[in-house]
Structures are given as C-alpha cells and as structure tokens.
Amino acid sequence: MDKVKKEPLTENTVIGSRKITAAEFRIFFEKTLGKDYEKYSVIHSFIKVPLNHKGKYLKEIIEECFNPSGAKSLDSILSERRFSNVSESDKSFIVAFNKAMNEMGYGFNIGGNKDAMIIAFEKTNPKSRPAYFVIDNNNVILRLFMAKIDAHRQFIENAPAHIKNLFTDKQGRCTGCNFRDGKCKYNVTKTYTIDGHLVHKCEFVITNLTVENIPDYIDLLSEFYLKKKSKRTE
C-alpha cells in the first residue's frame, strides 16, 4: 500500500491540524527564517512543545519572531483567532477565575495535546496543579484536583449545593475500568464518604461555568491547598 504523501508546511498550516514531526518544522523554519532560525527564542521553545501553540497558523509564529510581544495577559491570549470558538461568557469566566487564582499565588500556563487546548494553573512545580481548563473546539470545562477527600468531609457536607455536587453527582464516577486487584491502576480514583454514602470518583469536573460561583470554587481550593500548606508550617 502506497504511503500518503504529506503536503509541505506553509505559512497557512494550522498547528495541530495533523501530526507534524520536528524535522518538518525545522525544514519549514530554515526555509522561511534561514539556517540560524533557532536564534529566535519563540522558535526554540516552539520546537520543544509545538502543541502549546495548537490552533495557530505557522505565519503567526513567524510574526512573533519579528514582533515579540513578551508575556501576554490571559485575556489577550483568549482574543487570538485560535480561541474564536470560545463563547464570550466562557472567556469572562476564564479571565475571572485566573484573576482569583493569581491572588492565591498561581500563574497560568497554556498547553495542549492533539485533542484540546489546556490552560493550567500552577506554581513552580507543574505537579502541583490544582485546576485547569480543557478547551475542545467551543466546549470548555474546568477540572479540579483534590485528594484525601475524607479529611475535608465537614467542609464539603456544609458547602453550597454546586460545591457538594462535585463530590456526589455521577459525573466523573469511577466505572472500574482501570482497577487491578481492587486498586486503580493509575491511582486517580478517589474513595471517600459523604453523608454516609461511599463514593468512588476519578475526576471533579465543572461544566456550568458561572462567574458568581468562582468565590466558592476558590474557597474549595483554599480548603485543600492553602490550609494543607499552613498545617505543614505550624
């Protein structure tokens, strides 16, 4: 069977539109920028993780080489063409949530994979990532990371309904797909008790992004992250 011939990259190639090798990117940048293309910092970082620029045209990367903008604000990034499918209400939520996370000491990082864009909130250690947005076309969800749920049972049981439901509703419930010898193969399933009911959950997902609820989400993350830190320093 004959292999499908790949079309050469052009300035109008959309990053992430197909699987593109580092060699293909290097050939394109050498052709458009010259043999010393890696002198541009944006190219150096791009070659390492191109999917962080998922949805951009290659010509936008070229433009950044000659007109570096420096660090962009999140609302500025969301105004880029690659986020044009995201609704204004979802963008408002993302910007407001980012501001609240900044006040907790967290910055944002734009990343992605072949399926979606990701806006993650983290400090110096990317493993300490309490929350991130997943943007797939025009769908936006917010995922929260929490562990040792039972230690925070009193807080959860007395929280507003939209917070408590994160721990009790069916979304993200474990189906046993990765269980081996009674344990989760990937160690993602959380087992805990709320109101006397045993729950197994793999993820905590928010799909109804309501700006008015952000203070409650921040209180929840503070309960799990800031209070945990203060206890270690006592």
Q: Are residues 17 and 126 in the same domain?
A: no
Residue ranges making up the domain that contains 91: 73-234
Number of domains in the chain: 2
Q: pTM, whole model, 2 decimals?
A: 0.75
Instruction: Using the 3D structure, point to which of 47, 70, 93 is the last residue of a domain.
Output: 70
Could you list the pLDDT tens digit for every one of the 234 residues in the chain? 455 567 889 999 999 888 899 999 999 999 999 999 888 888 988 888 888 888 889 999 998 888 776 667 899 889 988 899 999 999 999 999 999 999 988 989 888 777 788 999 988 655 578 999 999 877 999 999 999 999 999 999 999 999 999 999 988 887 767 666 666 655 668 889 999 999 988 889 999 999 999 999 999 999 999 875 544 444
Q: Strand pairing of 183-184 and 190-194?
A: unpaired
Alpha-carbon distance of 83 to 55, in angstroms, equals 8
The verdict on 60 and 34 lying in the same domain is yes
Query: Do 54 and 81 reside in the same domain of the chain?
Result: no
182 and 103 fall within a common domain: yes
3-class secondary-structure state, position 231: helix
No. of H helices and E strands in the chain?
A: 9, 9
